[in-house]
Amino acid sequence: MKRSMIAAVALSVLTSSAALAQPTGPMAAVAKACAADMQKFCPDKTGKERHECMMANKDKISDGCKTAAAEAMKARQEMKADKPN
């Protein structure tokens, strides 16, 4: 999967209200790495509007945010693969 697509999906997860309330594990790293980007591009947005704003700016976000998002997405996929159906 392309790095920008992974970052977009992870940003989608990150910008959900539940993830922003109490990020843990890989999402905590994304929240920290993307905090400046969220403040820069979407300072007055929350919830769905923040998600839409970050997605609109996904090509402009920092490499650190993209990397953290990609790593969080990979960890999430690994957790889903390990979880029995």
Residues 4-21 have pLDDT tens digits of 555 665 666 555 544 555
Q: What are phi and psi of 45, to 5 degrees?
A: -105, 150
Average pLDDT (19-40) is 80
pTM of the model: 0.67
Phi then psi for residue 40, to 5 deg, are -70, -50
Place of tokens 């402009």: 60
Here the tokens at position 19 are: 């993830």
As a whole-number percent, the residues of the chain with pLDDT over 70 amount to 72
75/84 Cα distance (integer angstroms): 16
Given this model, what pLDDT does residue 6 score?
56
Task: Report the pLDDT averaged over residues 36-64.
Answer: 92
Say if residue 83 is exposed, middle or buried (CB neighbours under 10 Å; 0-12, 13-18, 19+): exposed
Confidence of residue 56 (pLDDT cuts 50, 70, 90): very high
